[in-house]
Structures are given as structure tokens and as C-alpha cells.
Amino acid sequence: MLPAPIKHNNSCFVLPDQTCQRLTLAQIKLATNNFDEALVIGRGGFGKVYISLEKFDSVNDIAIKRLDSTSNQGATEFEAEVKLLSKLRHGNLVPLVGYCNEGNEMVLAYEFMPNGTLEDHLHKGAARGLDYLHTGTSTQHGVIHRDVKTSNILLDSNFASRVSDFGLEKVGPINQTRTHVSTLVKGTFGYIDPCYFQSGKLTRKSDVYAFGVVLF
């Protein structure tokens, strides 16, 4: 069977092969109970993501991403994603199971990843751990980790992130006019705050910089 072209206004393209299936809007509405808010599992700049009540292509758990009409993403980005992901299959890529382009609706169906995003685990866990250190384990002192990096953030059995390895930590005042600790520069190259590297003045912002590198 020849692959069906995707059409949107003046746009039309044909998938190079049948590695993902074209879904009808009726199938999508059935799978999402007509885009039921109770099935929303995520939101982003593109729109909403729903957990599917149906399975497609023998995949039991499906996440359905519906492009919002007000999104900055549009037909061009949708077309590019379908074209690319329809060609690719790899164990470390989220597989595209199917797509729908019908009327004004543009929808992508992916295999559902039950443990969420890396941002969920890093930001909600590690950031809270660092905030606890910085704001004080007592009323007078806080802890600056000084070696925040990916290999020092561990995941427990529930994929909650835990900050580890405090060998380079420094205790500093949090409620005094002196807001930095003067110390020899230590840490891991690439994660070290340039201001700290140049001045030797360690602040909580040095940890924040390193955490930004982790997220980047």
C-alpha cells in the first residue's frame, strides 16, 4: 500500500516508508475520549499531551500530542517531525507510532514514557535539594556544594533525584553582610562558575551556575 500524503493548505508530502501509521481524527477522538481534560498528562509550547485509551500498532501505552492552534509551531514543524521520525528507529529515541492531519487538527502519537522527562527528575528533585542546602540546615548557615554535576545527581528507585558527593562542600553565612566564602577554586572543569574561577569568591550562585550546566 502506498503511503498517504499529508496535506495542509498548500503543503503536501509523502512518507518514505510505512514505519508509522496514519490515524484518522475519529481514532484520535476515541483514544482521548474527545480530548478529555482528565486524560491530559502534559502541556508545552506545542499544546497538550494525552494518555491514550487505545493502543495503536500493537503498542499498549500511547501518548498523544495535539498541536494547539495558538502554538508557535505549525504545519512546517509538524511535517518535519513526521518526515524525520518516520525514518528513524533507535532504542534511545522515543518512537513515533502514528500521526493525524485532518481538518485543522495536527496530532502525533508516541510510545508513552512512564517515567516522564529528565526535567521532571532533575528540576523538581535536585533543585529542591540545592535550595535546602543554600537556605540553611540551621538558621545561620547554608551549604555550598561546589561540585554540582550530572554524575553527582543520583536517581532512587522512584527516579527521584538526590544530590550526592559533598567532599568539596563549604559552609557559609546566609544572614550576614558577607555573602561569599574566599577559598581555593575547586570543582569540575566545565561546571565551575567563571566568576568564582576568576575571583576565588564562592557563593550560592556558583552552585546555581553549575546546575544550569547540568540542565543545559
C-alpha–C-alpha distance, residues 128 and 162, integer Å: 9
Residue type, 200: G
| Residues in Cβ contact with 212 at an 8 Å cutoff, skipping those fewer than 6 apart | none
What separation in angstroms does the CA of 20 have from each of 12, 92, 101, 110?
17, 17, 13, 10
Q: Are 203 and 144 in contact (CB under 8 A)?
A: yes
Distance separating the N- and C-terminal Cα atoms of the chain? 43
Query: Is 36 designated active site?
Result: no
Q: Which of 61, 120, 147, 193 is catalytic?
A: 147
Residues with catalytic function: 147
